[in-house]
A = this chain, B = another copy of it.
Amino acid sequence: MTATESVPRQNLTAAELHEIDRYWRAANYLSVGQIYLLDNPLLREPLAPGHIKPRLLGHWGTTPGLTFVYAHLNHQVRRRDTELMWIVGPGHGGPAAVATAWLDGVYSEVYPDVGRDAAGMRRLFRQFSFPGGVPSHAAPETPGSIHEGGELGYALAHAFGAAFDNPDLVVAAVVGDGEAETGALSGSWQSVRFLNPVRDGAVLPILHLNGYKIAGPTVPARIPEEDLLAQLRGHGYAPHVVAGDDPDTVHRSMAGALASCLERIDTIRFRARHSGSSVENVRWPMIVLRTPKGWTGPRTVDGQPVENTWRSHQVPLAAPRENPEHLRQLEEWLRGYRPGELFDDDGAPRPGTTAVVPRPERRISGSPHANGGLLLRDLLLPDLRDHAVQVTRPGVEKAEATRVLGGFLCDVVAANPRNFRIMGPDETRSNRLDAVFEATDRAWTTGRLPVDRQLSPDGRVMEVLNEQLCQGWLEGYLLTGRHGLFNSYEAFIHIVDSMFNQHAKWLKVSRDLPWRRPVASLNYLLSSHVWRQDHNGFSHQDPGFIDHVVNKKPEIVRVYLPPDSNTLLSTVDHCLRSRNYVNVVVAGKQPQFNYLPMDAAVAHCARGAGLWEWAGSEDGAAPDVVLACAGDVPTLETLAAADLLRRHLPELRVRVVNVVDLMRLSNEGEHPHAMTDREYDTLFTRDRPVIFAFHGYPWLIHRLTYRRAGHPNLHVRGYKEEGTTTTPFDMVMLNDLDRFHLVMDVIDRVPGLGVRAAGLRQHMRDERLRCRAYTREYGEDAPDIRDWVWEH
C-alpha cells in the first residue's frame, strides 16, 4: 500500500446532503443549547442574560465533529441497514451524544420527562451539567454509550471488546487526536491483529484530527500527514482521509469515505466467511477526519481566533450573561443553525430534520449492545466437583491452585464458545492456567510459523503484553453483555488502576439507572503474587491493588483470597455467576497445601471467614489467642505457627480463623458482606490477642476493622515492602510473616506468656537465623521448612 485509499466518487444526492446537514445543524443547535441555555430554548424571544446558565460548563470544541460523524453514521445505517454502535472517545463531548439521542427519539423513550417538545427541550438544556441534572460526559446516564470517555485513551479498546463475537456488528469509534497521544490508545491500534473477520464484528476507527487538545496542538495533527498515514497503515489499516472546513465539501467526502469503508467491511466479511479468504493480516478500513475544532462556532472572540484553535475546547464565549457582545455572538451562533427550520412550533424536530435517522431498531443511540445487560445470557458452568482435588487430610498433599482452576476454565470455555473470553498479558501459561489450551488457543490473526503452539484466529484466550488492552477489551466485552476473566501478575495489575476506577464508577452509576440492565462482573485473577516472585524480585512484589480497589463503592467491589485449590474453584464459580461487581481473586500458582475437601470449601467460601477447628486447640473453652490468616502463604505460615505452639506450648488454647472474603472483616454496615459486630466478636473475640497473617499490606486490615471492639488487640503481619529475588521462606522472614515470628508475636501478646515463654521466644529467633543462614549457603529453604506438613 503506498497511497491513501482513494475515496470513490461521491454519490450523495443534493437531497441526501441536505438531510445530513440538517440533522447536523440540529444536533449542533441542541449542543450549544445544552451548554448555554436555561430557558428560551427555541429562541422565540431575543436572547437575554436571564436565559443563560450562571455557570457555563461543558466542552464545545469536540462537539461539532462528533455530531458530524453521527449524522453521517445515521445516513449510512439507514441506507445499508447496518447494525452499528458508536464509541465517543472524546466523551467530554457529552452534548453531542445527548443531542443525537434526543433527536433520534431514544432519549425521550428512556427519560420520558425529557420529551421531544419545547418543554422537553428546555429540560434537556437545563439539566446538562446542572446540579441534579446530567453529567457533561458520555456517562452511564447517556443512552447509547458504553464509554464515558472522561479519562481519555480507551475508545479503541472498548470498541474492539464490543466487536469480539458480535459478527454482524460494526463499532464506529471516534478517537480524539489528543486521545491518540495516550499510551492506552497508542497501544490499541494493534487490536486489529486479534480480530477475526469470521466470528467478530468490525471496528471502524475515526481518528478526529481537530488539531488541538486543551491548550495546544496534537502530535498526530501536526506531524507530516504521510507520517501519520504510514503509522496507520503499519498498524494494519487502510486510512481514508476526509478533510476540510467547507461543510458541503466535507459532507460529500465523508459520505463517500464512510460508504466505501462499510463496503470494504462487507467485502472482508464475505470473503472470510464465504470465499475462504485468509483471515490473517486483513487490512481494515478507517477514517482520518480533519476538521476544525469548534467548527461552526464563533470564529473570533474578543479579538482572538477561536474556531479551529484550542480556544474552542470548552466554552468559547465565556460571559454572555455579563458581556453583551458575547450574548450577541451567542445568539448569532445559535440562530445560524436556523432553529425555525429544524423544529416545529411545538419544539419537536420537523420530519426533515430527522429524515436521516434509521428505523427504530437500528437507531445508533438505541443500540441494545450499549445496554449489554439486555443481551446477557448466563454462562453454562461445569460442576465444581468434577474439578475438585481430593483432600484426605488437610495440609499434607499439595496442588497448584491455578492449575486446578485451569481445568475448570477449560470446561467453561468449551461450554460457552461465543460469550466467554480470557484476557491476559502473556501470562496464562505462566499463571498455570494451561489447561484452557485443551479447549482453545490464543487469538492470533497475523503470521504463524510451524513452531507455534496454541495459536489460531479462533482462540478465545486474548494475550497481548498490554494490561490496558486486556482491561479495555474485557470492559467492552462485558458492557456489551458477555463474560470474561482477566488473569495477571499481581504487581502489574496496578497498570490498570485508573481503568478499574473508571469501570467501578461506571458500575456504581449504572446500578442506580433502572433502564441499565446488570452486566457480568469484571473478574480479576491475580496470580504470580507478591510472595512467590522467585524469578523476578522486588519490582514484581506489590499486593496493593486490593487497597486500591476497596476505595471504591462497597456495593461494587469484592475481594477474595482463597487459601487452596478447592476454595479457589468455589470462589471463581461464584464470581462468574455474579453481576455488576468487580471481583478480585488473589491465588497462588505454586504447589501449596490443600486444606478443604470440596464440600467444606464451598461452605467455607459461603461463610467467607471461618474457624478451622481442626487446626486450633481451643478444646471447648475460650481461646487464649486467635491466629487469623488470609491468603495462601499466610495460611501456611499460620498453620505452621499453630503447629509450633501446639508442640511447644500445649496448654495454650489457640484458635485458627481463615478469611477468604476480605470484605467480611469490614466494619459493620460499611460493606454488604461485612459481619455484624456480634459475629465478629464471636469469631475473633473482643478481648484476646489476634495475630493476623495477611497476604497484603498489613494496614489494610486495620483500615477495615478499626471500629471493631477487638481492634486494639489486633496485630497484623503482612507485606511491608521488603523483598528481592530470594527463597519463599526468606521472603516471609523479610517481612516478619514467618511461622517463627508469628509465634514470637503470640508470646509477646498473650498476657502472662512473655516471661514464661522466654526460652521459646529465643529459640524462634534462633530458628530464623538458622533458616536464613541455610538459604545463604545452599540457595534454597531448609529441608524442615520445605518438607513441613500438618501432622495433627
Query: How far, in angstroms, from A215 to B455 measured CA to CA in the complex?
Result: 11
Are B215 and A463 in contact, with the CB atoms below 8 A?
Answer: yes
Bound-state CA distance A529–B737 (Å) is: 38
Contact of A131 among B309, B495, B727 (CB under 8 A): B727
Annotate A184-207 by CB proximity to B: 1 below 8 A, 0 otherwise: 111111100100000000000000
A151 within 8 A of B: yes
Inter-subunit contact A183/B305 (CB<8 Å): no
CA of A229 to CA of B230 in the docked complex: distance in angstroms?
A: 9
In this assembly, does A755 line the interface, its C-beta being within 8 Å of a C-beta of chain B?
Answer: no
State whether B216 touches A463 (Cβ < 8 A). yes
Cβ of A54 < 8 Å from any Cβ of B? yes
Chain B contacts of A185 at CB under 8 A? 183, 187
Chain A positions 679-715 with a Cβ under 8 Å from a chain B Cβ: 697, 699-700, 702-703, 706, 711
Convert A526-553 into 0s and 1s, putting 1 for each residue whose CB lies closer than 8 angstroms to a CB of B.
0000000011111110101001100111
Cα(A505)–Cα(B721), bound, Å: 8
- With A186-B187, A498-B494: A227-B236 Cβ-Cβ less than 8 Å: yes
Contact of A497 among B223, B234, B494 (CB under 8 A): B494
Say yes or no: is A605 at the interface (Cβ < 8 Å to chain B): no
> Taking the nearest CB of chain B, how far is it from the CB of A435, in angstroms?
14
> Looking at the complex, which one of B218, B234, B553 makes contact with A465 (CB distance below 8 Å)?
B218
Smallest CB–CB gap between A59 and chain B, Å?
7
When each residue 56-73 of chain A gets 1 if its CB lies under 8 Å from chain B and 0 otherwise, what string results? 011100000000000000
Please determine whether A776 and B183 come into contact, CB atoms closer than 8 angstroms: no
A277 within 8 A of B: no
Given contact pairs A135-B538, A227-B235, A726-B132, A183 touches B187 in the complex (Cβ within 8 A):
yes
* Stretch of A20-28, A249-257, A426-434, A479-487 lying at the B interface: A426-434
Residue of A137, A449, A466 most packed against chain B (CB within 10 A) = A466
Taking a contact as CB atoms under 8 Å apart, the answer to whether A314 and B721 are in contact is no
A residues 107-163 near B (Cβ < 8 Å) are 129-137, 139, 148, 150-153
A551–B711 touching, CB < 8 Å: no
Residues of B contacting A213 with CB < 8 Å?
426, 465
Of A129, A131, A314, A497, the most chain B CB neighbours within 10 A belong to A131
Cβ of A356 under 8 Å from chain B = no
Question: For residue A543, which residue of chain B has the nearest CB?
Answer: B551
Contact A544 B551 (CB under 8 A): yes
Bound complex: CA of A133 vs CA of B779, how far in Å?
10
Do the beta carbons of A537 and B181 come within 8 Å of each other? no
Report if A501-B447 is in contact (Cβ < 8 Å); known contacts: A54-B780, A213-B465, A721-B551: no
Query: Which of A182, A547, A552, A772 has the largest number of chain B CB atoms within 10 A?
Result: A182
Contacting residue for A135 out of B498, B699, B725, CB 8 A: B725
Compute how far the CA of A223 lies from the CA of B192 in the bound complex, rounded to whole angstroms: 11
Instruction: Decide if A676 is an interface residue (CB 8 Å cutoff).
Output: no
A711 adjacent to B721 (CB under 8 Å) = no
Of the residues B134, B215, B309, B466, contact of A428 by C-beta under 8 Å = B215
Whether, in the assembled complex, A730 has its beta carbon less than 8 Å from a beta carbon of chain B, the answer is yes
Count copies of this chain in the complex: 2
Query: For A502, what are the chain B residues with a Cβ–Cβ distance below 8 Å?
Result: 539
Q: Measured between alpha carbons, how far is A179 from B134 in the docked complex, in Å?
A: 41
Determine which of B448, B501, B535, B537 lies in contact with A542 in the assembled complex, contact meaning CB atoms within 8 Å. Answer: B501
A15 interfacial contact with B, CB 8 Å: no
In the complex the two chains form, is A314's CB within 8 Å of B183's CB? no
Kindly state the separation between the CA atoms of A548 and B721 in the bound complex, as whole angstroms: 13
The verdict on A390 contacting chain B, using a C-beta distance below 8 Å, is no
| Chain A positions 221 through 257: 1 when the CB is less than 8 Å from some CB of chain B, otherwise 0 | 0111011111111111000000000000000000000
CB <8 Å contact, A536 and B465:
no
Cβ contact within 8 Å between B726 and A535: no
Residues of B within 8 A of A230 (CB): 230-231, 233-234
Chief secondary structure at chain A's binding surface: loop
User: Distance in Å from the Cβ of A345 to the closest Cβ of chain B?
Assistant: 28
| Residue from A152, A222, A305, A780 with most neighbouring chain B CB atoms (10 Å) | A222
Contact A464 B181 (CB under 8 A): yes
The reply to whether the CB of A612 lies closer than 8 angstroms to some CB of chain B is no
Please give me the residue from chain B that is nearest to A53 by CB atom: B779
A451 adjacent to chain B (CB < 8 Å): yes
B151 touching A492 by the CB < 8 A rule?
yes
A214-B427 contact, Cβ under 8 Å, with A186-B186, A305-B451: yes
A469→B703 CA distance, assembly (Å): 33
Bound complex: CA of A226 vs CA of B190, how far in Å? 15
Which residues from chain B contact A509 at a C-beta distance below 8 Å? 538
In the complex, A92 has a CB within 8 A of chain B:
yes
Is residue A11 contacting chain B, with contact meaning CB distance below 8 A?
A: no
The answer to whether B494 touches A183, judged by C-beta atoms less than 8 angstroms apart, is no
A178 interfacial by beta-carbon distance below 8 Å = yes
Q: Is A664 an interface residue (CB 8 A)?
A: no
Contact flag A721-B552 (CB < 8 Å), given A502-B539, A536-B136, A711-B706: yes
**A179 contacts B215, CB within 8 Å?**
no
Complex contact B779–A135 (CB within 8 A) = no
Q: Mark A290-314, 1 if CB is under 8 A from B, else 0.
A: 0000000000000001001100001
A281 within 8 A of B: yes
A536 touches B234 (CB 8 A): no
CB distance from A51 to the nearest CB of B (A): 12
B residues less than 8 Å from A451 (CB atoms)? 305, 308-309
- Say if the beta carbon of A589 comes within 8 Å of chain B: no
Determine if B55 and A132 form an interchain contact, defined as CB atoms under 8 angstroms apart.
no
Task: Let me know if A724 and B219 touch, CB within 8 A.
Answer: no
Asked if A465 and B179 make an inter-chain contact with CB atoms under 8 angstroms apart, the answer reads yes
In chain B, what residue has the closest Cβ to A437?
B215
Cβ of B468 and Cβ of A183 under 8 Å apart? yes
Question: By the criterion CB–CB under 8 Å, are B58 and A535 in contact?
Answer: yes
The answer to whether A787 has its CB under 8 Å from any CB of chain B is no
Is A187 a contact partner of B193 (Cβ separation < 8 A)? Answer: no
> Chain B residue with minimal CB distance to A314?
B535
Asked if A446 is at the interface (CB within 8 A of a chain B CB), the reply is yes
The minimal Cβ–Cβ distance linking A773 to chain B, given in whole angstroms, is 10
Q: A535-B57, A542-B501, A724-B135 in contact; A184/B183 too (CB < 8 A)? A: yes
Q: Does A460 contact B (CB under 8 A)?
A: no
Enumerate chain B residues within 8 angstroms of A188, measured Cβ to Cβ: 183
Taking CB atoms, residues of chain B closer than 8 Å to A214 are 426-427, 429-430
Q: How far is the CA of A131 from the CA of B309 in the complex (A)?
A: 59
Question: Does A75 belong to the interface (CB within 8 Å)?
Answer: no
Please name the residue on chain B nearest to A424 by beta carbon. B215
Q: Please state if B131 and A779 are interface contacts (CB–CB under 8 Å).
A: yes
Known: A55-B534, A548-B547. A187 touches B178 (CB 8 A): no
Is the pair A725, B151 in contact by a Cβ cutoff of 8 Å? no
Extra 12 A-B pairs, beta carbons < 8 Å, given A54-B778, A55-B727: A55-B779, A135-B538, A182-B183, A186-B186, A186-B187, A186-B466, A217-B448, A223-B281, A305-B451, A505-B721, A551-B721, A553-B721
Closest 5 pairs between A and B when the two form their complex, measured CB to CB: A150-B539, A231-B234, A230-B234, A183-B187, A494-B498
25 interchain pairs, CB-CB under 8 A: A129-B537, A130-B726, A131-B730, A134-B725, A135-B537, A137-B537, A139-B537, A139-B538, A139-B539, A178-B426, A181-B187, A181-B464, A182-B466, A183-B186, A183-B466, A193-B223, A215-B427, A215-B428, A215-B430, A224-B281, A230-B233, A305-B451, A505-B539, A702-B702, A706-B711
